[in-house]
Structure formats: structure tokens, C-alpha cells
Amino acid sequence: MTAGRYAEQLGRVALGSTSPAKVMAVEGALRRLHGQFVAVTHVSVPSGVAAQPLGDEEARRGAANRARAALQLVPGAHLGVGIEGGVERPFGESGPLFASAWVVAVDLEGRSGAARSAAFQLPPFLEARVMAGAELGSALDAAYGLERAKDGPGAAGVLSRGLVTRSELYEPAVLLALMPWLAPAPGQP
């Protein structure tokens, strides 16, 4: 079966966020899948977790909450997608702080998929602000004199000098979260 045929099975996609960076990531992933532009219905829904999730579990749960809420909120949607950025210390409490995001996709039949984006280490000046209670996007804006950088390049884009934007970081994770639909179990549509 071709990627286009799998993409048709996904149907109408609802994204549980109005963040321009997240919308671009999902639209970019679907464009790769369909071979053409695909509009995503995006809605503002609560994540049900802290504004700055700490740890993979909280970020994954926030993404799942967003995906389920979007699927319920958008009439005719066949697939809900949620993306939630988070920070964690994968090497223990004395280790550096890393940023990444979880993507969760769910459909009306109860099938789901999840993937995490690549992670990158935050510099100490941002780590200090985040650990003091600031959301990463706000800490980034304050440190660099920006306004809502999370809606554009995000921390990944600012810190990599535009080599990897937030949307570009998330897009592969969106595609990986769609694997249950791209390569379903034998005998499953």
C-alpha cells in the first residue's frame, strides 16, 4: 500500500493546539505523507499538565490529553494529535536539563501511537530560569529579548541559530507517532 493510501485512512486530522510551530509540524508531516498540502483543524485545548511539564511521563500525558480532546472537539475528525514539550534530567538530579516533546495520535477506534522528538541540552542560563518556575518559552524570550519565540523558531531554532526550528524538531516525531496507521498489524486496516 502506498503512503498516500495510508494517509487517506487517517481522514480529517484535529490538532490539540493553536501553536503555529505545532500546526506547521503536523501540516509538514501530512504533506510528506500525502504529497500535497493538507489543512489541519487546530483547536485550543488544555493539556491537563503543568505549563512546563517536567519529565517524559508528564509531557506524554499532556500530549495524549490534547489528542483526545481535539478528537472529541472537532466534528468529523478521524484522528486527534497532541504535542507537548517538556524538560527532564535523563542523567539524574545532578545532570543537565534537556528539552524535547512528545507527540500522541489517537483515532476513533481506540488505536494510538506516540513518539518523542529529539532532545537537546539547555544552556545553564535557561536551565536556571526553567528550574526557578519559568516556562521554557518565557525563559527564552526573557533571555534573548524576544516575543513568543515558541510560536516560531522555539528554543531549538534560537539555540541552533535557525538550523533546526521547533517545527522541524517536531515533524519527524509526528510521522513516527503515525506508525500504527502507516504500518498496521497484519490483517488490520
Q: Residue 127: inside a domain, yes or no?
A: no
Spans of the chain, pLDDT less than 50: 1-6
Q: Residue 142: inside a domain, yes or no?
A: no
How many C-beta atoms lie closer than 10 Å to residue 108's C-beta?
12
pLDDT of residue 49: 97
pLDDT of residue 10: 66
What's the domain range around 108? 3-119+165-182
pLDDT of residue 185: 75
Q: Residue 147: inside a domain, yes or no?
A: no
Give the model confidence (pLDDT) of 139-189 as tens digits: 999 999 999 998 889 999 999 999 999 999 999 999 999 999 988 778 766
Q: Residue 138: inside a domain, yes or no?
A: no
Q: Residue 152: inside a domain, yes or no?
A: no
Q: Residue 130: inside a domain, yes or no?
A: no
What total of structural domains would you count in the chain? 1
Q: Please give the model's pTM, rounded to 2 decimal places.
A: 0.92
Q: Residue 124: inside a domain, yes or no?
A: no
CA-to-CA distance for 62 and 93, rounded, in angstroms?
23
Q: Residue 145: inside a domain, yes or no?
A: no
Pairing of strands 79-88, 98-107: antiparallel
Tell me, what CATH number does 22's domain have? 3.90.950.10
